[in-house]
């Protein structure tokens, strides 16, 4: 009896074990079916929105904070995540380099965009950052021949927008929009569905045959609206009472400000340009309104955020840069432009809420570089500031080379305080390049506004602060960079007699805003140092895709919801 009972129990245990094993063998198959049926789908936003505000200093977030309403900058700052100590990690701090760094997570030494313009040491000629002289590349949407002979061919690595296209097997849509060609082309990347920029000669948004053979119907319809003339007819006066601008800004009328329509103070008669000069809109806050309307048209017509895959729209507001260059950070014009941009951002966020859906899109807002104070404004308040002009330096150095070696052409050019030497000529003259560099350096460091001169090839050995050294090295690309980098004293800018510019290592040019908002984004502020190179790495983590091929940035983990 006991033997039979034992036999039964043994049999039952065996049968039970076989049943469990059989179930375990079925489990992987069941999981695979669930994965195919998308029951465990990776969560991603429907639309990624990249916003670059050209020449926006970080301190504008807080300096004008009380002037902003609740729906624009304040909404992003208070309901999103702000990285308050984000720095540009290379030289020069200019538009093309900035847009490329944001969207590649890389630096000029790797991505190849060493300036808005550079002297190519291989082909021995000056190159514009997005020019494309391929015979197949033509202007689309305008009779302006050169305005559309553009592409991202000079960018040597992928962008985060390229990586999204690759990750989705090119099902995700990517669109780039800006007043500036480089502000639309570089962010959209090599594999974009489209990039559109403003042609100041015709008042139309145009493109290139690199992307399309003709403008899509929606963009043709948009251009027919002639919004530039409608915006001109609004003219430009201050949005708020003059007492507000007196509190936050320098006086309205200054000789060191540039002129708009013959004036340097409010009000500005823009109606005089209607139907005549379409370029002036770029230097007013209405250029941002024009771009916003174009972005709405693109989102609606391209059905961005409506498909199964995440789409990406890149919007670069350029008018802030034009106004900043003309009038400076302490002008009434600059303050008024940001007050109006705040309303535009509010309207954009409301539009995204209605069309894509609240918490269905992710967004970042940053800048390609910041900007210096107008030197004369600084001097008025007993702060050091001055001006140096690349063109004048070029002539002076050419004259020096002619005196010392009998040939001014030893200097190819000077651009953004970067000195390009003619190596072929130096070799043919059997000169010692070390002696040439030493003679140039000795001459330059005696100038009142020059702090130091760095031999870029040997920058790692330069006796300069580590921060500046790293920025020089990160900006050096042998094929597209100069030989010597002039480091000016603080407050010294490259420019003419009025306005201001940017491009140097100092915090006023290199400290930028960085805000994240929307799907998957935490709420808070971060004061540890982050870098422009971290933006694409963070977006890649948010979208669960590969970082761009030249990315050297790191994910800002605090930005993401846990």
Q: Which residues are catalytic?
A: 95
**Cβ atoms of residues 474 and 107 within 8 Å:** yes
Task: Name the residue among 222, 204, 195 with its Cα closest to residue 141.
Answer: 204
Q: Residue 229 in 3-state DSSP?
A: helix
Which H/E stretch holds residue 337?
Answer: helix 332-352
Which strands form 530-531's sheet, in the order they lie side by side?
A: 511-512, 86-87, 530-531
**Cβ atoms of residues 97 and 480 within 8 Å:** no
Helix ranges (H only) for 69-156 are 73-79, 95-104, 108-111
Place of tokens 């030497």: 421
Residues with Cβ < 8 Å from 354, sequence gap 6 or more?
none
Phi, psi values for residue 209, rounded to 5°: -65, -10
Give ∠ CA 105-110-114 in degrees, rounded to 5: 95
Q: Which residues pair with 194 in a beta bridge?
A: 175
Phi, psi values for residue 177, rounded to 5°: -140, 135
Place of tokens 């024009």: 290
Give ∠ CA 12-18-23 in degrees, rounded to 5: 125
Q: How far is the C-alpha of 443 from the C-alpha of 440, rounded, in Å?
A: 5
Q: Residue 480 in 3-state DSSP?
A: coil
**How many whole angstroms from its chain centre is CA 331?**
23
Distance between start and end Cα atoms, the chain: 62
**Cβ atoms of residues 31 and 38 within 8 Å:** no
DSSP state letter for 447:
S
Task: Name the residue among 482, 493, 500 with its Cα closest to residue 388.
Answer: 493
137 prior amide bond cis, ω within 30: no
Task: Name the residue among 512, 495, 256, 243 with its Cα closest to residue 381.
Answer: 256
Read off the tokens for 277: 């000069």
Burial-class residue 277 by CB neighbours within 10 Å (0-12, 13-18, 19+). middle
Burial code (b: 16+ CB inside 10 Å, e: under 16) for 435-454 equals: ebbebbbebbeeeebbebbb
């Amino acid at each position: 009896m006991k033997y039979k009972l034992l036999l039964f129990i043994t049999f039952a245990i065996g049968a039970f074990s076989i049943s469990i094993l059989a179930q375990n063998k079925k489990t992987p198959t069941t999981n695979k079916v669930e994965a195919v049926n998308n029951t465990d789908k990776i969560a991603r936003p429907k639309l990624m929105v990249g916003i670059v505000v050209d020449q926006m200093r970080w301190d504008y977030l807080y300096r004008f904070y009380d002037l902003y309403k609740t729906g624009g900058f304040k909404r992003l700052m208070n309901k999103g995540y702000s990285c308050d100590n984000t720095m540009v990690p290379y030289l020069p701090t200019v538009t093309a380099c900035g847009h490329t760094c944001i969207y590649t997570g890389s630096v000029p030494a790797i991505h190849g965009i060493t300036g808005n313009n550079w002297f190519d040491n291989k082909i021995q000629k000056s190159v514009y950052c997005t020019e494309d002289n391929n015979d197949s590349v033509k202007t689309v949407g305008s009779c302006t021949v050169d305005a559309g002979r553009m592409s991202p061919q000079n960018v040597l690595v992928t962008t985060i927008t390229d990586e999204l296209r690759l990750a989705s097997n090119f099902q995700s849509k990517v669109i780039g929009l800006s007043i500036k060609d480089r502000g639309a082309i570089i962010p959209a990347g090599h594999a974009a569905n489209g990039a559109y920029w403003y042609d100041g000669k015709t008042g139309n948004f145009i493109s290139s045959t690199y992307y399309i053979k003709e403008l899509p119907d929606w963009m043709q319809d948009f251009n027919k609206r002639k919004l530039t003339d409608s915006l001109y007819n609004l003219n430009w006066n201050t949005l708020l009472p003059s007492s507000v601008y007196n509190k936050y800004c320098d006086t309205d009328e200054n000789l060191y400000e540039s002129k708009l329509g013959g004036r340097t103070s409010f009000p500005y008669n823009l109606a005089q340009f209607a139907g005549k000069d379409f370029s002036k809109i770029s230097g007013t806050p209405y250029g941002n309104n024009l771009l916003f309307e174009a972005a709405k048209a693109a989102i609606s017509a391209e059905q961005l955020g409506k498909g199964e895959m995440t789409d990406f729209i890149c919007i670069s507001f350029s008018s802030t840069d034009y106004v900043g260059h003309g009038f400076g950070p302490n002008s009434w014009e600059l303050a008024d432009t940001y007050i109006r941009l705040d309303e535009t951002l509010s309207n954009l966020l409301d539009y995204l809420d209605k069309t894509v859906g609240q918490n269905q899109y992710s967004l970042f807002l940053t800048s390609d570089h910041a900007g210096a104070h107008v030197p004369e404004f600084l001097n008025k308040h007993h702060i050091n500031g001055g001006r140096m002009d690349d063109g004048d330096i070029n002539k002076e150095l050419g004259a020096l080379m002619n005196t010392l070696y009998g040939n001014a052409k030893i200097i190819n050019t000077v651009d953004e305080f970067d000195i390009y030497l003619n190596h072929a000529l130096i070799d043919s003259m059997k000169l010692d390049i070390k002696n040439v560099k030493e003679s140039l350096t000795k001459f330059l460091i005696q100038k009142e506004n020059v702090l130091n001169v760095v031999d870029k090839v040997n920058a790692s050995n330069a006796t300069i602060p580590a921060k500046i050294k790293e920025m020089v090295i990160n900006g050096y690309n042998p094929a597209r960079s100069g030989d010597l980098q002039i480091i000016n004293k603080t407050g010294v800018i490259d420019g003419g007699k009025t306005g201001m510019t940017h491009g140097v290592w100092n915090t006023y040019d290199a400290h930028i805003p960085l805000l994240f908002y929307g799907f998957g984004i935490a709420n808070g502020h971060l004061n540890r140092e982050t870098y422009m190179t971290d933006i694409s790495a963070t977006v890649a983590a948010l979208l669960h895709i590969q970082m761009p091929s030249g990315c050297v940035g790191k994910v800002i983990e605090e930005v993401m919801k846990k």
